[in-house]
Amino acid sequence: MVTDLPLDQVRTLLAVVDEGTFDAAAAALHVTPSAISQRVKALEQRTGRVLLLRTKPVRPTESGEVLVRLARQVARLERDAYTELGLSGTGEPTRVSVAVNADSLATWFLRVLTRVPEELRLCFELRREDEDHTAALLREGVVMAAVTSSPDPVPGCSVRSLGRMRYIPVAAPDFAARHLDGPLDQVLPDLPVVAFDRRDDFQDGFVRRLTRGRSSASALRHYVPTSEGFVEAVAAGLGWGLVPEAQADPLLRTGRLVEFAPGRTVDVPLYWQQWKLDSPALVQVAETVTATAGEALRA
């Protein structure tokens, strides 16, 4: 029975994952590649599980992800402890890694960074990812917190509701005049559409709900992988799209966009998930995120 996990072996596993190869991890830790290999093998023997896929770059297995997350959490607690004891000595700021969806990043999340007290000396490392996929970065231990659409907590994480982001189906006035002159459930599936990327199923989901099952059949599908660029592409008349309320409202008021399906807005619930750590930095960030989201999102 495993009674403990040697931290030097766990840290070595993390170094291999972060650096991508055994040789790079050896250089980062100032040991030989043979020593790195021996530590990883010893940890795999101790846990009785394969922890790494020996690809290029190496990737953690599902069991490896658990230990990578543990290594990052231990490192976070160590830094907090050193700071509280006045032993850090380096003066380096605390780094907080967060996964955020593009629309939150473009509309409200950056205000969080400006509201965290400066005396905490936090550096944010933001990973942009779709809200349906941010939880995966938490599960892999890549980030310590995430804005996600999932209310189900990742193992080892807490979750709290932030509110709902509302999306409005819009198009450019000329586009609407040319194409949206018939029953929506009949014309919309065949019209040019703007999507964020190839994983973006948001617009297709709207079409399926509108038509009760029919998917978008349009061959004209434009991929624009930034929130601001997405809005501009719709306003330029490339296609229709679902735009966050905060971004759509100014363009609706000035006439650059029109809402072509009044009453058919889509609300996406958002949640904040973070590691269950007694970390002052994470506690402060969570409180600031919740307060800012309460102002920006629908209850």
Residues 105-130: what's their mean pLDDT?
Answer: 92
Residues 169-184: what's their mean pLDDT?
Answer: 95
Architecture of domain 72-163+269-296: 3-Layer(aba) Sandwich (3.40)
Residues 264-269: what's their mean pLDDT?
Answer: 97
Mean pLDDT of the chain: 89
pLDDT of residue 297: 97
* Residue 274 confidence (pLDDT) above 70: yes
* Residue 278 confidence (pLDDT) above 90: no
Of 156-165, 170-179, 206-215, 268-277, least confident by mean pLDDT is 206-215
Helix axes 62-85, 280-296, angle to 10 degrees: 110
Residues 268-291: what's their mean pLDDT?
Answer: 91
Residues 243-252: what's their mean pLDDT?
Answer: 97
pLDDT of residue 75: 80
Residues 263-282: what's their mean pLDDT?
Answer: 91
pLDDT of residue 215: 66
* Residue 104 confidence (pLDDT) above 50: yes
Confidence of residue 107 (pLDDT cuts 50, 70, 90): very high
Q: What are the residue boundaries of the structural domains of the chain, listed by start?
A: 7-66, 72-163+269-296, 166-267
Residue 57: alpha-carbon gap to chain centroid: 22
Q: What percent of the chain has pLDDT over 70?
A: 94
Residues 233-260: what's their mean pLDDT?
Answer: 97
Q: What percent of the chain has pLDDT over 90?
A: 58
pLDDT of residue 260: 96
* Residue 112 confidence (pLDDT) above 90: yes
* Residue 89 confidence (pLDDT) above 70: no
Of residues 95 and 197, the one with the higher pLDDT is 197
Residues 81-97: what's their mean pLDDT?
Answer: 66
Residues 128-132: what's their mean pLDDT?
Answer: 87
Is 166-267 the same fold as 72-163+269-296? yes
Residues 229-244: what's their mean pLDDT?
Answer: 98
Of residues 283 and 140, the one with the higher pLDDT is 283
Residues 264-287: what's their mean pLDDT?
Answer: 91
* CATH topology assigned to domain 166-267: D-Maltodextrin-Binding Protein; domain 2 (3.40.190)
Confidence of residue 277 (pLDDT cuts 50, 70, 90): confident
Query: What CATH number does domain 7-66 carry, 1.20.120.420, 1.10.10.10, 3.40.50.1000, 3.40.50.970?
Result: 1.10.10.10
pLDDT of residue 1: 40
Confidence of residue 83 (pLDDT cuts 50, 70, 90): low
Of 79-83, 176-180, 208-212, least confident by mean pLDDT is 79-83
